Amino acid sequence: MSEELKEKHFKPKAHILTLLGEELIKNPVMAIYELVKNSYDADANKVDVFFKDVDDIEKAAIIIEDDGIGMTSEIVEDVWLEPGSDFRKPINKLGEREISKSPIFQRIPMGEKGVGRFAVHKLSTKILLISRPLIVKFNKDKTEIISKTIADYEIELFINWKDFNQSRHLSDIPIKWKLRREEKNFRFKEKSGTYIHLSGLKETWTKGMARDLKGHTISMLSPKVTENNFKINLSFDYQWLTDFPSASGILEESPLSFTL
Ligand SMILES: Nc1ncnc2c1ncn2[C@@H]1O[C@H](COP(=O)(O)OP(=O)(O)OP(=O)(O)O)[C@@H](O)[C@H]1O
Ligand SMILES: [Mg+2]
């Protein structure tokens, strides 16, 4: 009996990216949390999250802006546009995968799977991303930083996830982005960072969600993370968080405490 050897490649439908975000991330609160973790991993000192008109689906927008190391055009092409990229775990001299710490503050990254950014699907249909990178150069052994330069360009990328429907293949949808070189047109002037603007929100936000998110960000800011000088500013158009207890307030009120 003759046999025929056949070969074919998986050809994912575009919809797979939407599924990734929607199935992996529990709710919109956790989706924002994923983006905040990305800012921490990018060595940001602070991340500002603005919720604009989020109780009105027509006008609502969420903006996440950090002062981290941003993304070079190579990172956008080889990491951001490559779902599942494992660049955080490069192979060491022994051939093992090793988590690489963040370049400036030597933080242990909170992300490693290479899919967290697709969390935005849980939130909105449109994403505008602007990023100006900091180019960090190391010595030969990668033990010391020899230079830090703010790149002379800024990247702007826009995606409408509605284009990623079931009828198309992922490889048939081009992603276009701009590389700006004129500083006067930059969003990030004399600094690096990443700006994400989400619109076409999938659901409205409530005070309960705002407080849930605040709770998550407080627990993320453990004493270890605070040592790393990372601040998360959440701001809503409404008085949703005014009476929210601070981390130190919670500690003061706690009935039990452990001393090591
Ligand atoms: N705010 C940001 N600043 C700089 N780079 C970013 C930012 N957000 C994402 N990136 C880049 O995009 C990559 C992909 O982010 P994504 O959250 O999808 O994956 P991850 O953080 O590597 O892993 P995980 O899926 O566990 O979160 C990051 O590894 C990082 O290189
Ligand atoms: Mg991540």
pLDDT tens track for 193-211: 999 999 999 999 999 999 9
pLDDT tens track for 43-95: 999 999 999 999 889 999 999 999 999 999 999 998 888 887 766 655 666 66
pLDDT tens track for 18-47: 888 888 888 999 999 999 999 999 999 999
**Atom of ligand 1 at shortest distance to CA of 85?**
22
In a domain, 6, yes or no: no
CA–CA distance, 228 with 178 (Å, rounded to integer): 33
In a domain, 198, yes or no: yes
Strand ranges inside the chain, DSSP E = 46-52, 61-66, 124-132, 134-138, 145-150, 154-160, 177-180, 193-201, 231-236
In a domain, 10, yes or no: no
Contact between 84 and 113 under an 8 Å Cβ cutoff? The reply is yes
Residue 28: what pLDDT?
93
Domain that holds residue 118: 15-238
pLDDT tens track for 117-138: 898 888 999 999 999 999 999 9
pTM here is 0.89
Q: What is the number of the ligand closest to the CA of 112?
A: 1
Domain CATH code at residue 143:
3.30.565
Instruction: Output the ligand 1 site: residues, CB below 6 A.
Output: 34, 38-39, 41-42, 66, 68, 70-71, 75, 79-80, 88, 111-117, 194
Number of domain units in the chain = 1
**Atom of ligand 1 at shortest distance to CA of 79?**
13
Q: Is 21 helix (H, G, I), strand (E, B) or coil?
A: helix
Residue 211: what pLDDT?
92
